[in-house]
């Protein structure tokens, strides 16, 4: 085992474990505002990667950090490191390397984790219940209404990866994903890759009541993104075993596509999810 200092780090996998590897980049102006606090940018760049580990039912162990900075601003870097290290230490994860270059501000993180049995996106079946953790739409609401609610703003700036929750439900989850691009997009990935569809009930999706003050709250809930909650599927017989922070919001169907109902009536949203190249 060798960390920072050589041309590459060296890892020795534990026997009978699966390695799980993911990478996610945050770009200034795309994933955060240039004047957001550096400590929250540090936190979020790691949290979104840990969220991918949670979605696989894996435990993060090591990370690589690729920093592109426009200039050396010591107080900015100090605050970034503080936010980044706080989450690293919380989950006992080691920074084993990375790269630092000059350019427009962006942060790339690669995370390596392990688990006994990963939870995939392509293993759900029709008839199973669709579950989400926490509440959806808070971060998207805060992005559009930054002064409206501190709890929503905290969801946007310092999302908490659902690692403990994932560990507690991973054996009952038949498929799982984290909600980064919006529920419709991410549940859509489970559906497409598992060859099923879904019907979800809007009124069963947990939200903070304050977001309903926005005319666009349905868009925030279904397609806003930046939630970093878990969406997973379970057998109907496991519903009574769900932790309190999890809510069944619908069911998987043989028919493809996702139908959203509001008080039993289908609603036509025309929504997809967060798309990086949608407005080109």
Ligand X SMILES: Cc1ncc(C[n+]2csc(CCOP(=O)(O)O)c2C)c(N)n1
Residue facing ligand ATP at closest CB distance: 180
User: In this structure, is the dihedral angle defined by the CA atoms of residues 235, 53, 113 and 84, taken in order, positive or negative?
Assistant: negative
180 is known to lie in a ligand binding site: yes
Enter the DSSP assignment of 31.
T
**Binding residues for Mg ion restricted to 17-36, rule: CB under 5 A:** 24
Site for ligand ATP in 25-64 (CB under 6 A): 52
Binding of residue 178 to ligand X (CB under 6 A): no
225: contact with ligand X by CB under 6 A: yes
Residues 175, 232 contacting (CB under 8 angstroms): yes
Put the strands of the sheet holding 175-179 in their side by side order.
175-179, 229-234, 129-133, 246-253, 197-201, 257-262, 265-267
Which parts of 57-182 fold into alpha helices (H)?
74-90, 138-144, 150-157, 163-169
List 45, 106, 155, 180, residue binding ligand ATP (CB under 6 A): 180
Structure tokens of 28? 């200034």
- The count of chain residues that interact with ligand ATP, using the rule CB under 6 A, is 4
Question: Judged by CB under 6 A, does residue 160 bind ligand ATP?
Answer: no
Of the candidates 193, 207, 182, 200, the residue with the CA atom closest to the CA atom of residue 271: 182
Report the residue from 11, 21, 23, 31 that binds ligand X according to the rule CB under 6 A.
31
Q: Which residue is nearest to ligand X (CB)?
A: 225
Does residue number 143 form part of the binding site for ligand X (CB under 6 A)?
yes
Binding site members for substrate: 31, 226, 274
Interacting residue ranges for ligand X, rule: CB under 6 A: 24, 30-33, 143, 180-181, 225-226, 274
């Amino acid at each position: 085992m060798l960390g920072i200092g050589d041309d590459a780090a060296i890892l020795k996998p534990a026997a009978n474990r699966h390695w799980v590897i993911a990478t996610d980049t945050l770009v200034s102006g795309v994933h955060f505002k240039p004047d957001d606090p550096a400590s929250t940018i540090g936190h979020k760049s790691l949290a979104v990667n840990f969220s991918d580990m949670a979605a696989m039912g894996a435990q993060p162990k090591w990370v690589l950090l690729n920093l592109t900075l426009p200039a050396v601003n010591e107080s900015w870097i100090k605050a970034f490191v503080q936010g980044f290290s706080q989450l690293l230490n919380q989950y006992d994860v080691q920074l084993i390397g990375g790269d630092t270059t000059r350019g427009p501000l962006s942060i790339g993180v690669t995370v390596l984790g392990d688990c006994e049995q990963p939870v995939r996106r392509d293993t759900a079946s029709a008839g199973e219940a669709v579950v989400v953790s926490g509440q959806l739409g808070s971060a998207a609401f805060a992005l559009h209404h930054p002064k409206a609610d501190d709890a929503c703003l905290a969801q946007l700036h310092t999302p908490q990866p659902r690692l403990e929750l994932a560990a507690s439900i991973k054996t009952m989850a038949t498929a799982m994903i984290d909600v980064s691009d919006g529920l419709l997009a991410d549940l859509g990935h489970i559906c497409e890759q598992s060859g099923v569809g879904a019907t979800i009930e809007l009124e069963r999706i947990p939200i903070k009541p304050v977001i309903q003050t926005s005319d666009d709250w349905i868009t925030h809930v279904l397609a806003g993104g930046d939630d970093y909650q878990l969406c997973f599927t379970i057998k109907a017989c496991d519903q009574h075993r769900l932790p309190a922070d999890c809510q069944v919001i619908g069911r998987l169907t043989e028919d493809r596509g996702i139908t959203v109902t509001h008080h039993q009536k289908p609603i036509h949203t025309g929504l997809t999810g967060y798309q990086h190249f949608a407005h080109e």
